[in-house]
Structure 1
Amino acid sequence: MSERAFTSPQTLRRKSVPSHLAVRETARADRKPAAPKRTSLVITILCLAGTVVALQQTMVVPLLPDFPKILGTSADNASWLVTITLLTSAIATPIISRLADMFGKRRMMVVAMVTMVIGSVIAAAGGTFLMLLIGRAFQGLAASLIPVGISIMRDELPREKVASAVALMSATLGIGSALGLPLAGVIYQSLGWQAIFWISAIIGVLLIIAVVAIVPESAVRTRGKFDAVGAVLLTAALTSLLLAISKGGEWGWTSEPIILLFIGTVVFLSVWFPYELRVSQPMVDLRTSARKPVLLTNIASILVGFSMYANMLTTTQQLQLPNVGGYGFGLSVVVAGLCMIPSGLAMVALAPVSAAVTKRYGAKITLIVGSLVLAVSYVARVFLTGEVWMVILGATVVSMGTAIAYAAMPTLIMRSVPITETASANGLNSLLRAVGTSTMSAVVGAVLTSAVVHVGPLALPTENAFKEVFWYAAIAALLSIGVVVFIPRIQVAPGISGGATSGVYDGGAPTGAARAAGAAGIPAAVFPSAAEAGGLSAPGTEDEIVVSGTVVGAGLKPIRQAVVNALHTNGEPADWSRADNNGRYSLVLPESGRYLVISSADGWAPSSQVLDFVDSSSTQHLQLSLRLTLSGTVAEAGRALEHALVTLTKTTGEFVMSTFSDGSGRYEVPLPTAGRYILTGLDPEGLASESLQVVLASRSAVVDLELGGRPELAMAADAQVLA
C-alpha cells in the first residue's frame, strides 16, 4: 500500500536546510575523483596512524619488570601502566567515534593523535610514576582512531579500494601489538626508556601533519546534541567492568572491591540502557545495535577478541621461560619480541587476501574462515611446543586468522547501520573486542598462576597451563563460528548485477522498512550483492549527497523512531535512517537522482513514494497518514452496548490499555506491538463480561465482542482469535 506525502513527489529544488534538522554535508558533485597515488597515500597514512596508536598498547610491556626499580614503586603499581591504557582506550572509543559522526571524522582523528602526543611527552618528561601513569592514560585515548579511520575510508575511497583498505586498517591493532614488543625492547636497551615515548611523540606529530595535509575531511556527518549523560553512564559502567576483569586475579575474584565493581557495572548499565532508548540522539543506538546482523557480529567480535589475545599474552612468555622440564626456551625479552615480527608481517600480508575473500564470497564467509583458522591454529599450538620455530609458526598462523577475521567485522557492521553512524557503530564494535581481550587477559592470568612449578624462588607456569589457555581460545573461536552462521546474508536479485552471494538480505532495511518494501510491490529480500561484497552502501562515491527531513503523522505531528529507507529504482539499497524523537531523519545517497523512499513506524501503515533528489540541500518531509488500530463493537444479545469497558492485557499479565465503547457500541485503540493478548469486554453495569485471546500482527484488526455469548471475529486483518 502506498500513501501520498503531504509534499508532492516532485523534483526537489535547492533550498536552505533548517538548522534544527541537524545534518550537513558539503556538496561534492564538482569534486574530481582522487588520483590513484593520492588514494594510496591516504590509505598508507591512515594505516600507519592505526599501527602507531596500536603500538601504545604493548610498548611498555617489556619494561614492566624494570619499572619498579626505575620509578621506585611496586610491581603491582607498575601493572597500572598497562591497565590505565586499557581503561581509557575502552572509554574513549565509543565517545570519540560518536563525536566523529557528529563533528567530523578527520577532526576527531587528529584529536585522538594529539592526545597520544601529549601523553607521550608527559610520560617522557615527567620522570615519576604518577606522571608516567597520566601519560599512559592520554596515550590510551588514541585507540579510538582506528574505527574512525575505517569510517573515513568508507566515505572517501573509491568503491574498489574500500574492502582491502578496511582489511588493512582493521589489522593494524594486531600489527601494532605484535611489533610493539620487539621495538620497545630494542629502543629500551639502546636509548633508554624515555626514548620510547619521545619517539612516539615525534612520530605522532609527523602523522598529524600528514593527516591534515593528505586525508580529506569526511563530509558525511550528523549534527545534534551530544549525549553527555549517556557518555557518563557508559564510562562509569565500562570503568567498573574492565577494572574488575583486569584486577580480579590480582585482588581476588571474591574480594569486596571486585564484587562492588561488578555490582556497579550492573547498576550503571541498568540505568544506561533505558536512558539510551528514551533519548532523542543516543550515543549508542541500541535499536540498531539490537538488529540481528549487528548484534551477532558484535557477539562474534567479543569471542574473536577473546581468542586472538591468547596469542599475544602467551607466546613471549613461552619463549622467555627458562628451560625447566623441557618446555622453556630461555630467550631474552628482546629476542622473544623479535620472534613476534612474523606475526605482525603475516597480518599485513593477509589483509588483501581477506579483502579478496570478502569481495568474492562476502564478509560473513570471511569471518567464518578467519575464526576457523584461529580454532585450528590454537589446536595445533597445543602440540607444537617442542621447538622455537614451532611456537613462532603457531603464533604466525593465529595472526593470519586474526587478520582475516578482524577485516570482516567492520564490513559486516557498516553494511547494517546508517551511513551517518558508521564511526560510532565501529567504535562500539572495537569496544566489544576490547572486552573480549580483557577477559582473555584475566583468564590467562588465572590459569598461568594456578598451575605452576617451583624452581628455587620462582613459580613458573607449567606447560599444561599454556595448553589449557590454547584450548579455551580454540573453543571461543569455534563459538564465534556458531554465532556468525546466523548472520543474514544478501540475496542477489535476478537481473541486477553483482557478485555471487546467497542468503537473505538484512543489510540496509530494518524489519518495518522491509514490510513497507513488500507493501510497495518490491520483492522481499532481493537486493544486489554490491553491499555484501564491499560490505557497504555505495562506498567511495564522489557525488554522495545527504538529504534530510521529518516523518510526521496525522496533524503533521512528528513520529519518533520512524524508519526511512531509500532504494534505487532497480531495488538496490542506498541507505536507511532511524528518525530521532522529533521525527528528524537523514540519508546519505550515492548521487543525485530518483529513489524509492519507504517510511514506516510502529503503529502506522507504511508509506512509499518515488522522489527525485537534486543535491545536499534537498529536504523531504514524509507523512504516515494511516494509524494502525484494534477496533470492533461490543454487544450483548445482539444489542450494541454504550460505555462498555474494553481492556487489553498481555497473556503474561501486564496491562496494556483500556477504553470505553461509544454510542454505537464501537471501540478503537492504537494497535499494540505484535503478539498474543487478552481482549476483555465488560458491560456498563459490571455484570456480564467476555474475554478472547487474540494474536495481533502488524496490521489493523477488527474484533467484535459478544458478551454472554460465543465470541465472534468480524474481521481479522493479521489477527487471530483463539478459543
Structure 2
Amino acid sequence: MTHTTNDRPDRRAGGAVVPVLAFAGIVVAVMQTLLVPVIKDLPQLLDTESSNATWVLTSTLLSGAVATPIMGRLGDLYGKRRMLISSLAVMVAGALVSAVTSQLLTMIVGRTLQGFAMGAIPLGIGLMRDMLPREKLGSAMALMSSSIGVGGGLALPAAALVAQHTDWHALFYGAAGLGAVAIALTLLVVPESPMRAKGSFDLPGALGLAVGLVLLLLPVTKGSDWGWSSGLTLGLFGASVAVLLLWGVFELRVKAPLVDLRTTARREVLLTNLASIMVGVSFYVVSLVLPQLLQLPEATGYGLGQSMVAAGLCVAPLGLTMMFTAPLYARLSARYGPKVTLITGMLIIGAGYGGGLGLMDAAWQTIVTSVVLGAGIGLAYSSLPALIVGAVPASETGAANGLNTLMRSIGTSVSSAVIGMVLANTANDVGGVAVPTMHGFRVSFLIATAAVAVGLLLALFLPKAARPAQHTQLRASSEEDANLERAEEVLRGFRGRVLDATGAPVARAKVTLIDHRGRQAGSTLSDAEGAYAVPVPSGGSYVLAARAPGHGPLASSATHPGAERAVALDLSLPGAPLPGETVSA
C-alpha cells in the first residue's frame, strides 16, 4: 500500500495561509484592472482604433476565462500549490512583455499571458478546502472570492497615481513585482495539498473551449465595425455556437473531461454558474464606466473633470466595501445560508445601478454608487464558492470552482466587449478623438441592471437555503453517523481505525472514499474509538482521504478485490491534536 501525506501547518503557519492566498487573489485583481485608469487613452497610446484597444482588456479576461478550468483541473491532478505558482509565473512573464512594448499585437500577447493568473482564485479556494477546518472555511473562502474586487478597488487609485506621474509602462513592472512577491510568499507559507484526482488532462477540451470563446467575443467587439448582419459577423457567431456544441458533446464522452458537464447539470451548480455570469457582467461595468465619466472634462457638459488619481480614489470604495462585506457575509451565511446572501447581494447591486442612473452629476455621487455596488458585489461574490463547494464532492473542488470562476470570467469578458462596443458606438468624434457620451454611460448601466435582474431570477430558483451553520453541522453529523451504521452492515468495503501520530484513536474524523476517476464514492465519520467502515460499489483502486481538526490530512491508496469481504486498513493522521482543541465534525 502507498499513501501520500502532507503535514498540516501549525496554528502560526495555518494563520498565514489564508492572508497569503488572499494576497495572491488581490495580485490577480490588480493585473485585471491595471489599465482601467488609462482606458480612455489606450487608442492614442497604442495608435489604434477604440474597438481594437478594447482587446487589451478583453484578451486578459478571455485568457483568464480559459485558464481557470484548465488550472483547476491541473491543480486537482498535479497539485494546487504547484499550479498556483505556475499561474503567477506566467502572469509575471506577461507583465514584463507588456512593459517593453507600445505595439498593439505585442501588448495583447502580454495581456493574454497575464490572464492566466485568474486560475489563482479557484486554486486558492481548493487549497483552503483541503487544509482548513470547517469552522474557518466559510469566511476564508469569502475572503478569497472577494479578493478579486478588493484588489481591483485598491488598484485603481494606485495605478492612476503611477500612470499620472510616470510612464504608463511602469504599471506592468509594478504588477510583475507584486506577482514575484506572491510567488515567494506562497513558496514560504502555503503547503501543498495531498488531494489528487485520478485521470489525465483533457487537451482537446481546453483547445475547444478557447476557440469557442474567441469566436464568440471577436464578433461582439468588432460587429459594429463589420456590420451586425455581415457574413463575417454572422459566420463567426455561428462558428462559435458549432464549436461550443461540439465541445460539449466531446466533454460528455471523454473519460476525464476538463469540465464535468454532468456535475454542472446539477440544478444548484447550473443555476449558481449562470448567476455567476450575471455577477461578472455587473462587476466590470462600473469599473469601465465610472473612471471615464470622472475624467472627462467639464466642458463636455456631463464630464466631472477629475484627475486620474482623484477618479481612482472615487472608485476605490468599490473594492474597500467588498473587503468589509467578507466578514459580514460569513455571519449572514451562517444564519441564513449562502442562497439568501446571494439574493441579498443581487438586490443591493440592482439598487446601486438603478440609483446610479440618477447619480452621475458629481464626484460624491459616484462614491455613493461605488459603496453600494461594492457591498452588493462583495456579498454575491462571497456566496458563489460556498454554493459550489456545498454541491460537489471534495475531489472535484478545484475543477468545480475553476468552472465557477470561468463563468464569472465569461461575464466580465462579455461585459468588457459589450460595454466597450457600446461606448465606442455612442461616442462623439472631437478632433479625431472618440469621446464617450452620457447616453453610452446610461445604456451601460441599464445593461448591468438587466444582467442583475436575470441573476436575481436565477438565484431565486436555487434549492432551499441551507440551515444555519450549527444546524447544518448537526445534520451533517447525523448523516455521517447513518452512513457509518449502514457501512457496518455491508461486508464489501474498507474498515479500520483512524489514529493519530501517537497511535491514539481519532474520533469524528472525516473519511472520504474516492474512486479511480477522482470522484467521491462514499464518506463516513470515525466513531468514539476511531473505528470507521465505508462500503465500496465494486472492486478496484481507491483513495481513502482522512482529515480531522488538529491533524494533518492523509490520502491513502488501496485496492479492493471486489469480493464480499472487508479490507482492513488503518489510517494514521500526521500531527497530534493541538492543545485545547476539540475535534468535531
Q: Tell me if TM exceeds 0.5.
A: yes
Change (3 A) 1:320 1:137: same
Change (3 A) 1:277 1:74: closer
Q: Give deviations 1:537-564, integer Å, cap 9, x for gaps.
A: xxxx9976664457xxxxxxxxx99983
**Equivalent position of 1:26 in the other structure:** 4
Secondary structure class of the residue paired with 2:169? helix
**Equivalent position of 2:352 in the other structure:** 377
Equivalent residue letter for 2:348:
V
Verify the 8 A CA contact 1:343 1:399 in the aligned structure 2. yes
**Equivalent position of 2:159 in the other structure:** 184
**Equivalent position of 1:82 in the other structure:** 57
Equivalent residue letter for 1:499:
Q
Compute the displacement of 1:370 (Å).
0.7
Compute the displacement of 1:412 (Å).
0.6
Compute the displacement of 1:249 (Å).
4.0
**Equivalent position of 1:6 in the other structure:** none
Q: Work out the CA distance in 2 between the residues paired with 1:577 and 1:76.
A: 59
Q: Work out the CA distance in 2 between the residues paired with 1:70 and 1:468.
A: 26
**Equivalent position of 2:556 in the other structure:** 616
Verify the 8 A CA contact 1:547 1:618 in the aligned structure 2. no
In the alignment, structure 1 residue 566 sits paired with structure 2 residue 523: yes
**Equivalent position of 1:58 in the other structure:** 33
Verify the 8 A CA contact 2:37 2:291 in the aligned structure 1. no
Q: Work out the CA distance in 1 between the residues paired with 2:376 and 2:304.
A: 25
**Equivalent position of 1:299 in the other structure:** 274
Q: Work out the CA distance in 2 between the residues paired with 1:156 and 1:41.
A: 12
- Give the alignment partner of residue 281 of structure 1, picking from 247, 253, 256: 256
Verify the 8 A CA contact 2:543 2:556 in the aligned structure 1. no
Q: Aligned-pair RMSD on alpha carbons?
A: 3.8
Compute the displacement of 1:479 (Å).
2.4
Compute the displacement of 1:440 (Å).
2.7
**Equivalent position of 1:603 in the other structure:** none
Secondary structure class of the residue paired with 2:255? coil
In the alignment, structure 1 residue 49 sits paired with structure 2 residue 24: yes
Compute the displacement of 1:34 (Å).
2.5
Change (3 A) 1:75 1:342: same
In the alignment, structure 1 residue 485 sits paired with structure 2 residue 485: no
% same residue: 40
Q: Work out the CA distance in 2 between the residues paired with 1:396 and 1:77.
A: 32
Change (3 A) 1:143 1:445: same
In the alignment, structure 1 residue 402 sits paired with structure 2 residue 342: no
Q: Work out the CA distance in 1 between the residues paired with 2:376 and 2:344.
A: 8
**Equivalent position of 2:80 in the other structure:** 105
Instruction: Structure 1: state its 5+ residue gaps.
Output: 1-14, 17-24, 523-540, 551-559, 593-613, 625-723
Compute the displacement of 1:79 (Å).
3.5
Verify the 8 A CA contact 1:187 1:196 in the aligned structure 2. yes
Verify the 8 A CA contact 1:544 1:589 in the aligned structure 2. yes
Equivalent residue letter for 1:58:
T
- Give the alignment partner of residue 199 of structure 1, picking from 171, 174, 196: 174
- Give the alignment partner of residue 297 of structure 2, picking from 316, 322, 345: 322
Secondary structure class of the residue paired with 2:521? strand
Change (3 A) 1:561 1:41: closer
**Equivalent position of 1:308 in the other structure:** 283
Change (3 A) 1:133 1:435: closer
Which structure's CA Rg is the greater one? 1
Change (3 A) 1:479 1:621: farther
In the alignment, structure 1 residue 432 sits paired with structure 2 residue 410: no
Q: Work out the CA distance in 1 between the residues paired with 2:360 and 2:43.
A: 32
Verify the 8 A CA contact 1:220 1:546 in the aligned structure 2. no
Compute the displacement of 1:388 (Å).
1.4
Equivalent residue runs for 1:598-677 within 5 Å:
616-620=556-560
Equivalent residue letter for 1:27:
T
Change (3 A) 1:579 1:462: farther
Q: Work out the CA distance in 2 between the residues paired with 1:70 and 1:431.
A: 30
Secondary structure class of the residue paired with 2:360? coil
Q: Work out the CA distance in 2 between the residues paired with 1:296 and 1:622.
A: 38
Q: Work out the CA distance in 1 between the residues paired with 2:540 and 2:420.
A: 49
In the alignment, structure 1 residue 499 sits paired with structure 2 residue 470: yes
Q: Give deviations 1:202-258, integer Å, cap 9, x for gaps.
A: 222222111011001111111322112222222211221233333334544333333
Verify the 8 A CA contact 1:164 1:351 in the aligned structure 2. yes
**Equivalent position of 1:595 in the other structure:** none
Compute the displacement of 1:359 (Å).
1.7
Change (3 A) 1:274 1:454: closer
Q: Work out the CA distance in 2 between the residues paired with 1:219 and 1:266.
A: 39
Verify the 8 A CA contact 1:346 1:399 in the aligned structure 2. yes
Q: Work out the CA distance in 1 between the residues paired with 2:544 and 2:211.
A: 33
Compute the displacement of 1:305 (Å).
1.5
Q: Work out the CA distance in 1 between the residues paired with 2:445 and 2:54.
A: 24
Verify the 8 A CA contact 1:562 1:583 in the aligned structure 2. no
In the alignment, structure 1 residue 171 sits paired with structure 2 residue 146: yes
Compute the displacement of 1:384 (Å).
2.1
Equivalent residue letter for 1:370:
G
Verify the 8 A CA contact 2:93 2:176 in the aligned structure 1. yes
Change (3 A) 1:397 1:326: same
**Structure with a larger share of its residues in helix:** 2
- Give the alignment partner of residue 227 of structure 1, picking from 199, 202, 216: 202
Verify the 8 A CA contact 2:51 2:222 in the aligned structure 1. no
In the alignment, structure 1 residue 236 sits paired with structure 2 residue 214: no
Compute the displacement of 1:153 (Å).
1.0
**Equivalent position of 1:149 in the other structure:** 124
Secondary structure class of the residue paired with 1:488? coil
**Equivalent position of 1:139 in the other structure:** 114
- Give the alignment partner of residue 444 of structure 1, picking from 419, 430, 435: 419
Equivalent residue runs for 1:506-525 within 5 Å:
none
Q: Give deviations 1:560-615, integer Å, cap 9, x for gaps.
A: 99983324489xxx9x99999x98665644459xxxxxxxxxxxxxxxxxxxxx97
Q: Give deviations 1:64-88, integer Å, cap 9, x for gaps.
A: 5555555555555443322321222
**Structure with a larger share of its residues in strand:** 1
Change (3 A) 1:191 1:248: same
Equivalent residue letter for 2:386:
T
Verify the 8 A CA contact 2:51 2:221 in the aligned structure 1. no
Q: Give deviations 1:405-440, integer Å, cap 9, x for gaps.
A: 001101111111121111111111111112222333
Q: TM-score, with normalisation over the residues of structure 2?
A: 0.81
Compute the displacement of 1:158 (Å).
2.6
Q: Work out the CA distance in 1 between the residues paired with 2:177 and 2:46.
A: 24
Compute the displacement of 1:456 (Å).
7.4
Q: Work out the CA distance in 2 between the residues paired with 1:404 and 1:417.
A: 21
Compute the displacement of 1:375 (Å).
1.1
Secondary structure class of the residue paired with 1:383? coil
Equivalent residue letter for 1:134:
V
Q: Work out the CA distance in 2 between the residues paired with 1:484 and 1:232.
A: 31
Change (3 A) 1:591 1:378: same
Equivalent residue letter for 2:10:
A
Q: TM-score, with normalisation over the residues of structure 1?
A: 0.66
Q: Work out the CA distance in 2 between the residues paired with 1:371 and 1:315.
A: 20
How many equivalent residue pairs? 535
Secondary structure class of the residue paired with 1:393? helix
Change (3 A) 1:77 1:441: closer
